[in-house]
Structure 1
Amino acid sequence: MKSKRTIALIALVLLLAVAVIMDYQYGKNNLPINATETDKNVAQMLNTSKKTSTNVSKDKAVTANSDVFADYRQDRERTRSESIANLKEIVDNEKTSKENRDKAQAEIIKLTEQTNKEMTIENLIKAKGFKDVLVFIDDKSANVLIDTNQQLTAARIAQIQDIVTRETGLSVDQIHIIKRKS
Structure 2
Amino acid sequence: MFNSAKRPIVMFIGHKSRVLWIGFLTFVVILGILGVRLIDEPQVYSPGQSSLPVNANIDNTSIQFQVEPVKPDVSGENYFVNYRLKREQFRQETKAMLSELLNSTVEKSKEQAQEKWLELSTKIQKEGEIENLLKIKGFQDAVSDVFLENVTVIVYSTSLTPNEVSIIQDIVSRVTKVRMDKITISIKK
TM-score (norm 2): 0.68
Residue aligning to 2:28: 14
Distance of 2:85 and 2:77 partners within structure 1 = 12
> 2:165 maps to which residue?
157
Hey, what's the Cα distance between the residues in 1 that align with 2:185 and 2:134? 12
- In the alignment, structure 1 residue 86 sits paired with structure 2 residue 97: yes
What's the offset of the Cα at 1:12?
Answer: 2.8
Equivalent of 1:66 in 63, 77, 82: 77
Structure number with greater CO (CA < 8 Å, separation at least 6) is: 1
Taking the aligned partners of 2:75 and 2:178, their CA distance within structure 1 comes to 32
Q: Report deviation, 1:91.
A: 1.2
User: Which one has a bigger Cα radius of gyration?
Assistant: 2
Structure 1 residue 81, shift from structure 2 partner: 1.2
Structure having the larger proportion of residues in strand:
2
Match of 1:131 in 2: 140
Structure 1 Cα separation of the partners of residues 27 and 185 of structure 2: 27
- 8 Å CA contact 1:21–1:138 kept in 2: the answer is no
The corresponding residue for 2:88 is: 77
Sort the Cα spacing of 1:20 and 1:119 in 2 relative to 1 into closer, same or farther, 3 A. farther
Question: Unaligned stretches of 5+ in structure 1?
Answer: 28-46, 51-60
TM-score, length basis structure 1:
0.70
Across the aligned residues of Structure 1 and Structure 2, the Cα RMSD in angstroms comes to 3.0
Partners of 2:43 and 2:79 within 8 A in 1: no
2:139 partner SS: coil
* C-alpha separation in 2, matches of 1:48 and 1:19: 16
CA distance in 2, matches of 1:114, 1:141: 12
Contact 2:38 2:86 survives alignment (8 Å): no
Partner Cα distance (1:174, 1:24) in 2:
25
**3-state SS, counterpart of residue 139 of structure 1:** coil
Partner of 1:174: 182
SS in 2 for 1:176: strand
Change (3 A) 1:146 1:48: farther
What percent of counterpart residues are identical?
27
Letter in 1 for 2:112: K
Q: Distance in 2 between matches of 1:63 and 1:174?
A: 28
* Structure 2: runs of 5+ lacking an equivalent: 1-12, 45-71
1:94-113 alignment runs, 5 A limit: 94=105, 96=106, 98-113=107-122
User: SS at 2:89's partner residue?
Assistant: helix
CA contact (8 A) 1:13 1:86 kept: no
Note closer, same or farther for the CA distance 1:147–1:48 as it changes in structure 2 (3 Å cut): farther
- In structure 2, do the counterparts of structure 1 residues 16 and 140 end up closer, same or farther at CA, with 3 Å as the change threshold? farther
* Structure 1 runs of 4+ with >2 Å offset: 1-6, 16-25, 47-50, 61-65
